[in-house]
Amino acid sequence: MIVSLKNMCKSINLYYVVIFYLLLFLLLVFIPQRKQKNFIEGNQILIIGGSTGLGISLAIQLQDMGCKVYIAGRNLEKLKHLQKIHGFNFYVLDVRDINTLKVITEKFNYVFYCAGYCVPGYFIDLKIEDFKQMMDTNFFGCINTLKYLLHANKTPFSYIAIASTVCYYTFPGYSGYSPSKAALKSFFDAAELELEKKNIKSYIYFVNTIDSLGFKNENKTKPEFTKYVEGEATEKSNPDIRASVLIKSLKDERTKIVKDFETQILKVAPSIDYFSEIIYLPLAIIILPVWNYYIRKLFLNHHQ
């Protein structure tokens, strides 16, 4: 009898869980997304790390949309070459040294932080210097840039950082890279409301593989296991496609941008380590949005 009762309870619980997710799915599908009234066309844009990969794809597409685009990087010759071909203005700087950011004198409406560095490898094989270089470029470089522009860029602006799927789920071979990107997520989770009070709209783009020159170079030394789990680059991995998706996503109100299926799955359940924890998912889906709303209101009221 007790066993039958337990089985019945399990069936009922499963029934309600299925109904809950079905209703949630319908709600998400049929509620229209709000769009920003003033979008990116015709604005002044700065792209940090704008000479390769996603950065150069963004620069070209945004310029085609009528934006005045500035790109920034360390390689003077490459920047001059891109200026000759596309007519971009440029800054020579090193995001790891905040003093070099003083060359940024224009005021921008949108700033994209696309600088990135990855040394794939197992923890036992990586050098301490590898960890430092990835943190310096991927995290501290982003913070340096934002900190400088917070005071130097006197006009309200949007700041877009490029993160990664590995912020939500990582595996052997990315023990150095993953923390440097996950730090970005944690930072923007904490600082988003502060930045909003300073008229800075912050976005973070959690993107899967980008089929860039950097990715090809990484694969030369990447462990075979890591390459197998990550998989081959697909058509959607093209930097031009990734850039187009990001630009279109900025029309939405959502500040955490996830547009590929794999990352979306990992985003909604990033910390389920045991099957039994699935039972908490319906509660988390209800409680977390309410908690986030409460924290937002509390912060804004406290800093009126």
Is residue 13 over pLDDT 80?
no
- The answer to whether residue 37 scores a pLDDT higher than 60 is no
What would the CATH number be for the domain defined by 37-270? 3.40.50.720
Q: How many CB atoms lie within 10 A of CB 32?
A: 5
pLDDT at residue number 162: 97
Q: Is 241 exposed, middle or buried (0-12, 13-18, 19+ CB in 10 A)?
A: middle
Q: What is the pLDDT of residue 27?
A: 58
Residue 2 pLDDT level (bands cut at 50, 70, 90): very low
> What percentage of residues in the chain have a pLDDT greater than 90?
62
- The model's confidence at residue 265, banded by pLDDT at 50, 70 and 90, is confident
Of the listed ranges 26-30, 69-73, 162-166, 240-244, the least confidently predicted one is 26-30
Residues 195-235 have pLDDT tens digits of 999 999 999 999 998 988 888 999 999 999 999 988 876 77
The two tokens of residue 208 are 């899967």
Alpha-helical (H) ranges within the chain are: 2-30, 53-64, 76-86, 128-134, 141-152, 177-197, 213-221, 224-230, 239-249, 261-268, 281-302
First to last CA, the chain: 60
Q: CA 170, CA 168: separation in Å to the nearest integer?
A: 7
87-131 confidence digits (pLDDT tens) = 999 999 999 999 999 999 999 999 999 999 999 999 999 999 999
- pTM of the entire structure? 0.83
